Amino acid sequence: MDKKTVLSGIQPSGSLTLGNYIGALRNFSDFQNEYECYYCIVDLHAITVPQVPKDLRKNTLEVLALYLACGLNPDKSTIFIQSHVHEHAELAWVLNTITYMGQLNRMTQYKDKSRKYNESINAGLFTYPVLMAADILLYQADLVPVGEDQRQHLELARDLAIRFNNKYSDTFSIPEPFIRSTGSKIMSLQDPSIKMSKSDPDKNAYILLLDDKDTIYKKIKRAVTDSENHIDYNDRQLGLKNLIDIFSSLTDKRTEEIVEMYQNKGYGEFKDDLAEIIIDCLEPIQRRYKELISDKEYLEKIYSIGAIKAERKANNTLRKVYKKVGFVPKPDMIK
């Protein structure tokens, strides 16, 4: 039987956070044995908000090294850089023509980001979810591991796949999101009403996968809690709830168990233990990352092979799409 396909990606729009790890990256390697996996670094998405070119290049390699350090195996998964596979932009164009403006207007990420970057709102930011649909549909993905914030974009990808299939005949698989019940939305450590984001201007709002021990310890100590001074998991104590979610995600302990463990103990002790748990989780990743990031030749080999493998599958889908919409096939001699 054919293996089902998994696809996911992360933007190299900064250094990766614990939110990116818990919500998405840590799940990636789980699929490698049973699925055909495609994991990309979505640099085309990253330029929908302002980027410094040399930082974008650096961050792209950093994300690649982190993918590998977090357990992605290039012999099992296809790991590539989105801009190396031109089919993404081409399929996005075709999908743009069957996407309703009203659907894009409803996207909460677009609303949030256009508030945040109000001086540089561009058409790319608006059509970002269409490009994401193209990323997914090109590989005929069945499953897409993402954080909760991407659920709405996944819905659009499903919608566009169904619309295209109905209009032109069966072409795309209909993707399902894979979103865990715990840790799918890690919140800012400074404002637990908003998501932890790598582009947050407040460095204390997030923990980076590459933060050193002292920094992690300090950021957890400074994390906003409340004055109730009683460990509990509820919507009144949102800061604490978020910290318990992080604890639970990294230890696989249920939130009730954690609350029980810290009855009659102070926030200080809880935070000390949490910082230790995060440090222990990140330590082996950071060690492996340091080796990988200094071996540029190896990284280049990985993303070159990845691009060839990804393009093979992407091109196969795009050719079908072009044929179905009525484009004249390109003669072999100019392929």
Binding site for ligand AQP (CB under 6 A): 10-11, 13-14, 17, 19-20, 22-24, 146-147, 149-150, 184-186, 195-199
> How many CB atoms within 10 Å of residue 304?
13
Residue of 69, 9, 1 lying closest to 37 (CA atoms):
9
Q: What pairs with residue 77 in β-bridges? A: 37
CB of 9 to ligand AQP, least distance (A): 6
Q: What's the token pair of residue 50?
A: 């302002």
Q: Give the nearer residue to ligand AQP in terms of CB position, either 173 or 184.
A: 184
CB of 48 to ligand AQP, least distance (A): 9
Distance (Å, whole) CA 286 – CA 280: 10
To the query of whether residue 113 is one of the catalytic residues in this protein, the response is: yes
CB of 20 to ligand AQP, least distance (A): 4
Q: Select which of 195, 241, 271, 313 is catalytic.
A: 195
Distance (Å, whole) CA 269 – CA 289: 30
CB of 159 to ligand AQP, least distance (A): 19
User: Which amino acid, one-letter code, is at 248?
Assistant: S
Pairing of strands 176-178, 77-81: unpaired
To the query of whether residue 330 is one of the catalytic residues in this protein, the response is: no
Q: Give the nearer residue to ligand AQP in terms of CB position, either 46 or 299.
A: 46
Distance (Å, whole) CA 137 – CA 311: 13
Distance (Å, whole) CA 266 – CA 99: 52
Q: Select which of 113, 241, 271, 313 is catalytic.
A: 113
Distance (Å, whole) CA 134 – CA 318: 10
Q: Give the nearer residue to ligand AQP in terms of CB position, either 11 or 83.
A: 11
CB of 333 to ligand AQP, least distance (A): 39
Distance (Å, whole) CA 62 – CA 307: 17
Q: Minimal CB distance to ligand AQP: which residue?
A: 23
Q: Select which of 76, 198, 309, 330 is catalytic.
A: 198
Q: What's the token pair of residue 103?
A: 């659907």
To the query of whether residue 203 is one of the catalytic residues in this protein, the response is: no
Q: Give the nearer residue to ligand AQP in terms of CB position, either 24 or 299.
A: 24
CB of 73 to ligand AQP, least distance (A): 20
Q: What pairs with residue 144 in β-bridges? A: 177
Distance (Å, whole) CA 335 – CA 333: 6
Q: Give the nearer residue to ligand AQP in terms of CB position, either 128 or 267.
A: 128
Q: Give the nearer residue to ligand AQP in terms of CB position, either 185 or 319.
A: 185
Contacts of 54 (CB under 8 A, 6+ apart): none
Residues marked active site are found at: 113, 195, 198
